[in-house]
Structure 1
């Protein structure tokens, strides 16, 4: 992957100069399947390209790494305009379960692993994974609540330190 920078030559014509991206930091803040997978897919893709990856889970994104919740993430059907169904229909019992099953079936066809397996796989490739200290405290959690792939619970300041020189991606 490359980072494109535009520079102007002496004649005023922009010249694109590319530099390889060496490091990304991905923030996952949403705890639904459609909120977690984009960040995991980006982290996996970056690692496959040899890019250093830090994943920071905050707010409801923590659901992706809380040991007893990560296997039960859902697709929200209420207030989700991308579902292309009326909110009233999305609120019917079973609609979220139906949408979740459909999404999981489609991901399985594409060989995209379930959240737990994906988190393990990405971590095993060398990605670092952290939980947000402020959110952990706010939700009254401890490090023991998380899957073993969470390297630590850190502050936002520490996340910024670890992200020095990285492209920061918020999903």
Structure 2
């Protein structure tokens, strides 16, 4: 095969030479383009309980720290995570995978998984508040940041937080109820093109 275009004498040789050069140069060029691109991630946050508040903020703050562009679309109950007064609770009821750990006492006591039947959780007044307090205490003991702290980290890292306008309207919320950093109130039509272009898209 000719080594340069000047040595080519017919179209077949030209096609073969072009194919060879493309096979040689294209992978490296594509790799170079990919390496220069800023990774992006879109998260759809739909839940407002304490246990489900952590994943979107942890993932978003971590990605932002790595230099990624991050957008979070808060819709339905996830919209509560944007309120000024964040009062997220956790309910073990209907969540059999949730371990009940005690954040106090000797190590063997803290490591024990306490079985809590649904009937007990549903029948004891204030059990949800107790479970919320236990989870917060456990997280604090393990050095895990609070949801408010993680949310602040995301804001400092320029994570773009978007409120679902339809949810705001349906639940009768007012923009005054949300943290002032939230300026984008849009619907799915506006968010989906953003998610489509993202390298990573998560539904939480």
With normalisation by structure 2, the TM-score equals 0.68
Show the 5 A alignment for 1:153-164. 153-164=185-196
1:98 aligns with 2:130: yes
* Matching residue of 2:28: none
Give the distance between the partners of 1:46 and 1:111, measured in 2 at CA.
20
Give the distance between the partners of 1:33 and 1:113, measured in 2 at CA.
12
* Matching residue of 1:142: 174
* Matching residue of 1:168: 201
Residues 36-71 of structure 1 show CA distances to partners (whole Å, capped at 9, x for unaligned) of 111111111111211110011110111111123x1x
3-state secondary structure, aligned to 1:150: coil
Give the distance between the partners of 1:109 and 1:48, measured in 2 at CA.
24
Give the distance between the partners of 2:180 and 2:135, measured in 1 at CA.
26
From 128, 152, 161, the counterpart of 2:160: 128
3-state secondary structure, aligned to 1:82: coil
* Matching residue of 1:45: 62
* Matching residue of 1:4: none
1:82 aligns with 2:114: no
**Which is helix-richer, 1 or 2?**
2
Larger Rg: 2
Instruction: Structure 1 unaligned segments of length 5 or more: list them.
Output: 1-17
> How many Å apart are 1:106 and its aligned residue?
2.1
> How many Å apart are 1:161 and its aligned residue?
2.6
* Matching residue of 1:115: 147
Does the 8 Å CA contact 1:130/1:154 hold for their aligned counterparts? yes
Does the 8 Å CA contact 1:143/1:152 hold for their aligned counterparts? no
Give the distance between the partners of 2:83 and 2:51, measured in 1 at CA.
17
**Which is strand-richer, 1 or 2?**
1
Instruction: Structure 2 unaligned segments of length 5 or more: list them.
Output: 1-30, 99-114
